Chains A and B, each alone.
Chain A
Amino acid sequence: MNESLQLLNGAIHLVLPETVLLATVCIIFFAASFLVSERGEAPEGLRHRWGMLSLLALLIAGWIGWHAPEVPHSTGPFVADGLTLFIRGLTIAVGAILVLLHWNQADDARSAESHACLLAILAGVNLVAAANDLVGMFVALELISIPTYLFLLLPRRDAPAQEATLKYFLLSIFSSAIVLFGMSYLYGATGTTNLMAIHQAFAGGSHLPHNALVAVATVMLIAGLSFRLAAVPFHFYAPDVFQGAQPSAAAMLSIIPKIAGFVALLRLMVPAAAGESAMHSWMMTPTATNLLWWLAVITMFTGNLMAFVQTDVRRLLAFSSVSHAGYMMVGLVVGMQASQQVSGIGALLFYLVAYGVMTLGAFAVLIAAARTNRRIESLDDLAGLSRTKPALALVLSVFLFSLSGLPPTVGFLGKFNLFFAAWSQGSESSRLLACLLAVNAAIGAWYYLKMIGVMYLRDPVDRSEDVRPMETPSVVAAAVCAVGTIGLFFVPGPLWSHIQLLVQ
C-alpha cells in the first residue's frame, strides 16, 4: 500500500498539466456556487469570467507541458513519452478552441459548470495518453465520459438535449462496460495491469496471442473503444446527439472522443517505449487486423452514404465525423502491419490534427452564423449565406473543401498521407483499402459540395436584416482554424517531422 502511494507520488510530476486543469475544475465548481444564487440567477457577463479562467488554465497547462521532460520508461502509473506530449499539445490546443466555441453557448448561471466539465474532459484525454496501467486508463476514460454527460445537458435542458444526453449516457456506460470486460480478460491472460509489463509478456513470446482469452480481450477492447471513435456499428448515437446537443458540445464530440479512442488503442497496441515496433504488440493477431479492416471499410461507407441523404447540417456533420473515423482507422490498420515507407500511425496522427482543425472550424462558423432567433439547423438555414455573411461563407467553404480533401487545404495532405501509407504498405488488402478510401473521398466530396452549393448558389430564405452582433469568440476560433487549415497545407514540415520522430 505504502509502496503504491510512493509510486503515485513519484509519478505526479508526469501529469502536472492535468493537475493544473483538474485544480481549476475544483476552483470553478467551488467558486461558482457563491456567485450564482439559489434560484439560478447570476450577474450579467459572468460567463466571460469563466471563459477567461478556462483559457488561463489551458495556457498554464500548455506552458508546463511545453517544458515537461520526456520520460519514456516508467514502471509507475504514468508515462510521458513523445506520444503523450504530442496528444497533450493537441488536446490543449483543441481545448482552447472549444472554450472559445463554448463561450456564449451556456447562460451565465450554468457557464461555470459546463466550462469546468470541458476542462475535466481535456484532462481525461491527456491522462489516457499518459496512462501506463489498465486501471489508470479506464479511470481516465471515465473522466472523459462522466463530465461529457453534464456537458451535453447543462447548456440546454430542453427535450432534444435530454434525449441526446440520455442516449449518449446509456451507450457510453455500455461501452465502458465492454472495455472493462476486455481489460479484465487481458489481466487474466497476463496477470498484470501494467501496460509495459503486458507488452513485455507478449514480446517474450512465451505465450503468444493464440490464447482465447486474448482474442476475446482484443475484440472487446476494439468494440468498446469504437464507440468513442464513432465507428460503425457503434455510431448510432452520433447523429441524434449532434442534432440534440448544443453546437459547441457537438464540436467537442466530433473530435475529443476520437483523440481519446485512438490514443487508447495506440497505447494498448504499441509498447510505450519507442524502439519496439508495432509488430510485437499483442493485438497483432490476424483477427484484430481483419476486424479493424472491416470496421474501417464499413465505417467509411456508412458514414459517407448516410451523410449523402441528410438535410440537417448537424446530422450531416455527425455522419461526416463517422466517415472521418473510418479514414483514420485506415491509418491504424495499415500502421499495425509490417514495415512500410510511411507509417500509417503517423498518417493517423497527422489526420487527427487536420480533422481537429477543420471540423472545429466548421462548427465555429455554424455558431457564428446563427441568427438572433434561429440557430443553423437544416441546410436551408445555410442558403445564401454568401450574400448575408460573405466572410463566414468563404471560411466555411475552406473547411468544407478541406473535409472533402481538396487542395490547398490540410485535409488534402491528410488524405494523401493516408493513401500513401496504405498504398506503400504493399499488401493486397491494404491497397484495396487505399482504393476504397479514394472511392469514399469522391462520395464524400458530393455532400460537402452540396453544402457549399447551398451557401453560394441559393438565395437566402430569410432576408430580414440581422441585428445580432457578431459572436466574437467563435469568429476568432474560425479564423484560427482557417489559418491552420491553409497554413498546415503550405508548411506541413514541422508537424510532420515531429510525428515521424514519434512513430519511428
Chain B
Amino acid sequence: MPSLLVILIFLPAAAAAMLLLLDAKAPPVRARWFALLATIATFLVSLGIASQFYSVQRTPPSVAGPVHPHLELKHTWMTLVAATEDKPAINLEFYLGLDGISLSMVLLTTLLTISAVLVSWTAISDRPAEFYASILILESGLIGVFCAFDVLLFYVFFEFTLIPLFFMVGIWGGPLRRYAAGKFFIYTFAGSVVTLLGLIWLSLETYQDSIVQGTPLSTPLSIPAIAAQLAAHGLPVETQIILFLMIAAGFMIKVPLFPFHTWLPLAHVEAPTAGSVLLAGVLLKLGSYGFLRLALPMLPKACEQVGVPLIGTLSVIGIVYGSFCALAQNDIKKLVAYSSVAHLGFCMLGLFSLQPEGINGGILQMINHGLSTGALFCIVGMFYERYHTRQLTELGGLASRMPLLAVAMVYTSFASIGLPGLNGFVGEVLSLMGMFKRDPILAIIGATGVVLGAWYLLGVLQKAFFGPLQEPPHHGHEPIPDLNAREMLALAPLLAMCLWLGLFPQPVLDLIRPDVESLTRLYGHTQASRVLTAAQSPVINTPATALASVAPETDQ
C-alpha cells in the first residue's frame, strides 16, 4: 500500500492548513497540542512505512541501477512534450519512492520534528498557530525531498522548504531576524536556480543520448531512469564537469561548504530554537543528500576528477576553519552553528571518498549530526529560555543549579565530539577511513577536526557548567528550574538514539548498504558486496566488528 507515502507527505501539510484555519483567538495551548499530535501521527506513519519497507524483498544491488527506490509510486503530472512516431513523450511525474537512505532520513525528520514542537512549547507565545503550521509545512517539504525520485519534483520540494523556514526565522527570530531571513533565502535560492539549470541540462543531455542509442527514455526526468542510462553510457568528461559544477552550486551552499557558509551562523543565531533544530538537523542534509542522490550516481567521472579534489579540499578547510571559528565564539549558539560547518565537512569528506565505507560513514554522519546537533540546539534553547543569554562569559558552574540539564549537555557534547560508544564516533571514523583510501593527506588534515571539536565543546562544558557558579546578573530572582518533563521528553528520544547508534550502528548500515553498494559499483567497488554480506550475521553487532566488516579488503 504505497499510498502511505502520500499520506506521510501530506499529513503534516493538512494539519498545518487546519492549524491556520484555527481561530486566531483560541488559546495557544490548543495549537501546541494539535501540532504535537500531528507530528506524532506523522512519526507513526513513518514507522508504518518502515515496517512496510522491511516486509518487501529488496532487489540485489547487482541487478538494481545506481539509484533504485525500494517502494515507489508514480503518477503523471504533466506531459511536457507529446509522443511522436520516433520519440516517446516527455512526462513530468509525481514519482515518489523510498530507498534505504531516504528512509533513514525520513525517520530522522519525523523524529526531530516532535522535539522541535516540544522545545517551542513555551518559547513561542506570539502567533503560535502560525508558528506550528510553519513547522508542519516544513516537515512536509523535507519528507517530500527525501521521497522524490523525479528531478523536477525533487527540486520543487527542495525549493519549497525555503518558504516556511524563511517565515520561521523572519517572524519568530532574534533581533537581526529580517536580515538573517533575507540572506538565508537569497543565498540558497540563487544557488538552487543554477542547480535547476544544471538538472535540466543533465536530463536533456541524457535524453538526447538515449535517443541516439535507440532506447529513448519514456520518463527523462525520473532519477533512476537517468542514473541507469548514464551508468550504461556516461556523458563526456567535460560535460560532466560543467554539469557537476552547476548542480553542486546549490548543494554546496545548502551543506554549507567553506566559502559559502556565511549565511549559516547568522541564520542559526537568529532562528528560534525549533528553526535551528530543523535547520541543522535536516535542512543542511538536503545539500549532502542532493550530492548523494544526483551528483554521485550520475556524474561519476566528474566526481572523481573534480569532486574529490574540490569538495574534499573545501570540506577539509571547512572542518578546520569551522572548528577554529567555533573556538573563538562567545555565543554558544553560534559556536554550535560553526561546529555544524565542521561536522558537515566530515560528512562531505566521507561521501566524496567514493568508497563504500566512506559513503556509509557520510550517511551515518548525516544522521548523527542531525541527532546530536539537534539535541545541542534544543539544550541551548532551554537555557536561553531560563537566562535570556547565551554568552559564555556570563555563565559558569551551572551544573550545580541544573544537574539534569548539565548531564544532557555533557552527554550530547560527547556524542558530538565522537566519543567511542556514542554515535558521532562511528560516522567520523568511517568517513575518515574512506577518505584515507582516496587521499590520505585530506584525511589526516580532516582528522585534526576531531581534536579541535573536543577542544571547543569541552571548553563550553568547562566554562558554563563547571567551575565557580556565575549567573547573568539580570535574570530575576526566581529560582532557575531544572529540566521539566516536557523538556526531558524532547531530549530523551534523541539522546537514546545517539547511544543506540553508537553501540549498534549495524541496523542502519544494513538499511543503507544495498543502496550504497549499487552506487559504488559505478566506482569499481563490486567486491564490497561479498564482504558486507558477512556483516549480516547476527553475532557481529558491536561497533568494532561492525566497522571491520564494512571495510572491504579491496586487495583481495
Q: State whether B193 touches A438 (Cβ < 8 A).
A: yes
Q: State whether A493 touches B78 (Cβ < 8 A).
A: yes
Q: State whether B197 touches A453 (Cβ < 8 A).
A: no
Known: A406-B159, A442-B190, A442-B193. A423 touches B90 (CB 8 A): no
Closest residue on chain B to residue A413 by CB atoms: B78
Chain A 58-105 interface residues, beta-carbon cutoff 8 Å to B: none
Interface string of B152-163 (1 = CB under 8 A from A): 100111011011
Q: State whether A445 touches B189 (Cβ < 8 A).
A: yes
Residues of B within 8 A of A162 (CB): none
Known: A423-B201, A442-B193, A457-B171. A416 touches B152 (CB 8 A): yes
Residues of B within 8 A of A416 (CB): 152, 196
Q: State whether A453 touches B181 (Cβ < 8 A).
A: yes
Answer whether residue A435 sits at the interface, using C-beta atoms and an 8 A cutoff.
yes
Closest residue on chain B to residue A417 by CB atoms: B80
Q: State whether A442 touches B189 (Cβ < 8 A).
A: yes
Residues of B within 8 A of A431 (CB): 201
Q: State whether A453 touches B182 (Cβ < 8 A).
A: yes
Q: State whether B178 touches A407 (Cβ < 8 A).
A: no
Closest residue on chain B to residue A343 by CB atoms: B81
Q: State whether B167 touches A456 (Cβ < 8 A).
A: yes
Residues of A within 8 A of B166 (CB): 449
Answer whether residue B466 sits at the interface, using C-beta atoms and an 8 A cutoff.
no
Residues of A within 8 A of B163 (CB): 401, 406
Answer whether residue A500 sits at the interface, using C-beta atoms and an 8 A cutoff.
yes
Q: State whether A453 touches B178 (Cβ < 8 A).
A: yes
Q: State whether A419 touches B196 (Cβ < 8 A).
A: yes
Residues of B within 8 A of A342 (CB): 80-81, 90
Answer whether residue B496 sits at the interface, using C-beta atoms and an 8 A cutoff.
no
Q: State whether A408 touches B201 (Cβ < 8 A).
A: no
- CB < 8 Å neighbour of A424 from B159, B170, B204: B204
Answer whether residue B185 sits at the interface, using C-beta atoms and an 8 A cutoff.
yes
- CB < 8 Å neighbour of A497 from B79, B156, B193, B194: B79
Answer whether residue B539 sits at the interface, using C-beta atoms and an 8 A cutoff.
no
Q: State whether A441 touches B152 (Cβ < 8 A).
A: no
Q: State whether B79 touches A457 (Cβ < 8 A).
A: no
Answer whether residue A30 sits at the interface, using C-beta atoms and an 8 A cutoff.
no
Answer whether residue A10 sits at the interface, using C-beta atoms and an 8 A cutoff.
no
Q: State whether B160 touches A435 (Cβ < 8 A).
A: no
**How far apart are the CA atoms of A341 and B88 in the complex, in Å?**
11
Residues of A within 8 A of B78 (CB): 413, 492-493, 496
Q: State whether A438 touches B197 (Cβ < 8 A).
A: yes
Residues of A within 8 A of B167 (CB): 456
Q: State whether A435 touches B197 (Cβ < 8 A).
A: yes
Chain B 180-233 interface residues, beta-carbon cutoff 8 Å to A: 181-182, 185-186, 189-190, 193-194, 196-197, 200-201, 204, 207
Q: State whether A457 touches B200 (Cβ < 8 A).
A: no
- CB < 8 Å neighbour of B82 from A401, A407, A441, A500: A500
Residues of B within 8 A of A233 (CB): none
**How far apart are the CA atoms of A431 and B243 in the complex, in Å?**
13
Residues of B within 8 A of A492 (CB): 77-78
Answer whether residue A242 sits at the interface, using C-beta atoms and an 8 A cutoff.
no
Answer whether residue A390 sits at the interface, using C-beta atoms and an 8 A cutoff.
yes
Residues of A within 8 A of B20 (CB): 394
Residues of B within 8 A of A445 (CB): 185-186, 189
Q: State whether B204 touches A341 (Cβ < 8 A).
A: yes
Q: State whether B200 touches A420 (Cβ < 8 A).
A: yes
- CB < 8 Å neighbour of B160 from A390, A406, A449: A406
- CB < 8 Å neighbour of B177 from A401, A406, A435, A457: A457
Residues of B within 8 A of A446 (CB): 182, 186
Q: State whether B170 touches A456 (Cβ < 8 A).
A: yes
**How far apart are the CA atoms of A441 and B200 in the complex, in Å?**
16
Q: State whether A493 touches B190 (Cβ < 8 A).
A: no
Residues of A within 8 A of B157 (CB): 407
- CB < 8 Å neighbour of A341 from B90, B171, B177, B182: B90
Residues of B within 8 A of A493 (CB): 76-79
Residues of B within 8 A of A424 (CB): 200, 204
Answer whether residue B444 sits at the interface, using C-beta atoms and an 8 A cutoff.
no
Closest residue on chain B to residue A394 by CB atoms: B20
Interface string of B292-327 (1 = CB under 8 A from A): 000000000000000000000000000000000000
Q: State whether B204 touches A423 (Cβ < 8 A).
A: yes
**How far apart are the CA atoms of A28 and B191 in the complex, in Å?**
54
Q: Give the Cβ gap from B48 to chain A, nearest Cβ, in Å.
A: 26
Answer whether residue B441 sits at the interface, using C-beta atoms and an 8 A cutoff.
no
Residues of A within 8 A of B186 (CB): 442, 445-446, 449
Chain A 374-413 interface residues, beta-carbon cutoff 8 Å to B: 390, 394, 401, 406-408, 412-413
**How far apart are the CA atoms of A246 and B167 in the complex, in Å?**
32
Residues of A within 8 A of B171 (CB): 456-457
Task: Give the one of B82, B157, B177 with max A CB within 10 A.
Answer: B82
- CB < 8 Å neighbour of A407 from B24, B156, B185, B200: B156
Residues of B within 8 A of A453 (CB): 170, 178, 181-182
Q: Give the Cβ gap from A339 to chain B, nearest Cβ, in Å.
A: 11
Q: Give the Cβ gap from B184 to chain A, nearest Cβ, in Å.
A: 11
Closest residue on chain A to residue B80 by CB atoms: A342
Interface string of B89-116 (1 = CB under 8 A from A): 0100000000000000000000000000
**How far apart are the CA atoms of A457 and B197 in the complex, in Å?**
31
Closest residue on chain B to residue A439 by CB atoms: B193
Residues of A within 8 A of B159 (CB): 406-407, 412
**How far apart are the CA atoms of A423 and B204 in the complex, in Å?**
8
Q: Give the Cβ gap from B398 to chain A, nearest Cβ, in Å.
A: 33
Interface string of B63-82 (1 = CB under 8 A from A): 00000000000001111111
Q: State whether B156 touches A457 (Cβ < 8 A).
A: no
Answer whether residue A268 sits at the interface, using C-beta atoms and an 8 A cutoff.
no
Residues of A within 8 A of B178 (CB): 453, 457-458
Q: Give the Cβ gap from B16 to chain A, nearest Cβ, in Å.
A: 12
Answer whether residue A230 sits at the interface, using C-beta atoms and an 8 A cutoff.
no
Interface string of A422-455 (1 = CB under 8 A from B): 0110000001001100110110011001100100
Q: State whether A457 touches B181 (Cβ < 8 A).
A: yes
**How far apart are the CA atoms of A496 and B91 in the complex, in Å?**
12
Chain B 141-160 interface residues, beta-carbon cutoff 8 Å to A: 152, 155-157, 159-160
Q: State whether B197 touches A423 (Cβ < 8 A).
A: yes
**How far apart are the CA atoms of A413 and B171 in the complex, in Å?**
28
Interface string of A94-132 (1 = CB under 8 A from B): 000000000000000000000000000000000000000
Residues of B within 8 A of A442 (CB): 186, 189-190, 193
Q: Give the Cβ gap from B130 to chain A, nearest Cβ, in Å.
A: 8
Q: Give the Cβ gap from B137 to chain A, nearest Cβ, in Å.
A: 11
Residues of A within 8 A of B162 (CB): 406
Known: A438-B196, A496-B79. A457 touches B170 (CB 8 A): yes
Residues of B within 8 A of A412 (CB): 156, 159
Q: State whether B200 touches A419 (Cβ < 8 A).
A: yes
**How far apart are the CA atoms of A442 and B250 in the complex, in Å?**
12
Residues of B within 8 A of A401 (CB): 163
**How far apart are the CA atoms of A406 and B155 in the complex, in Å?**
10
Q: Give the Cβ gap from A386 to chain B, nearest Cβ, in Å.
A: 8
**How far apart are the CA atoms of A450 and B207 in the complex, in Å?**
39
**How far apart are the CA atoms of A441 and B77 in the complex, in Å?**
24
Q: Give the Cβ gap from B21 to chain A, nearest Cβ, in Å.
A: 10
Q: State whether B80 touches A420 (Cβ < 8 A).
A: yes
**How far apart are the CA atoms of A466 and B177 in the complex, in Å?**
29
**How far apart are the CA atoms of A250 and B106 in the complex, in Å?**
47
Binding site for B on A (CB under 8 A): 341-342, 390, 394, 401, 406-408, 412-413, 416-417, 419-420, 423-424, 431, 434-435, 438-439, 441-442, 445-446, 449-450, 453, 456-458, 492-493, 496-497, 500, 504
Known: A407-B159, A435-B197. 7 other contacts (CB 8 A): A407-B156, A407-B157, A423-B200, A445-B185, A453-B181, A456-B167, A456-B170
Instruction: Supply 20 A–B pairs (Cβ within 8 Å), ascending by A.
Output: A341-B90, A342-B80, A406-B162, A406-B189, A408-B156, A416-B152, A419-B197, A420-B80, A420-B200, A431-B201, A435-B197, A438-B193, A438-B197, A442-B193, A449-B166, A450-B182, A456-B170, A457-B181, A493-B77, A493-B79
Instruction: Enumerate the 4 nearest inter-chain pairs by beta-carbon distance, A residue then B residue, closest first.
Output: A407-B156, A442-B190, A438-B193, A492-B78
